[in-house]
Amino acid sequence: MRCLPFLHGGDAKDDDRRTGPSAGMSASVRSFSTEESTERGDPRSGSDLNSINVSDMSAESIRRTQYPSFTDRPANLRVFTFPELKAATRNFSRSLMVGEGGFGCVYRGVIKGSDDPTERVEIAVKQLNRKGVQA
């Protein structure tokens, strides 16, 4: 699941969508949980989820998946827990769904600011669909 700044109006696929932290309204997230796995109590840790089974990967695909360590992430990359995203989107309410891509649905949400908890930051949260065509 990933979390992006929520954009008002217009085509969300334009360049504004990729402005990131410099836009002053960003919320980045990297979470691999799904509601399904969380409610089953999936015991995998974040580091487990970052690991890659290379047994059946080609050399080319391995080269393409050389991500930096999750612990080496940029200081301004904010990480959210699944319960936080669930609360922000009112349990992924259909009424807050703003779109759907090949990997899953995108929901509008509101979270507290990282520096000022009274600040309300509008976000877009994509919930990955494991059964989706691309996912």
The annotation places the binding site at 126
CB-based contacts of 9-14 (< 8 A; 24+ apart in sequence): 12/98, 12/99, 12/124
Single out the residue of 7, 88, 121, 125 in contact with ligand ATP (rule: CB under 6 A): 7
CA distance 77 to 12: 21
State in angstroms the smallest separation of the CB of 30 from ligand ATP: 15
The Cβ-side half-sphere exposure at 96, using a 13 Å CA radius, reads 20
List 96's β-bridge partners, or say none: none
Q: Is 29 in the site for ligand ATP (CB under 6 A)?
A: no
What secondary structure letter does DSSP report for 97? E
State in angstroms the smallest separation of the CB of 8 from ligand ATP: 8
Q: Is 98 in the site for ligand ATP (CB under 6 A)?
A: yes
Q: Is 6 in the site for ligand ATP (CB under 6 A)?
A: yes
Which residues of this chain interact with ligand ATP, rule CB under 6 A?
Answer: 4-7, 12-13, 17, 98-103, 106, 124, 126, 134
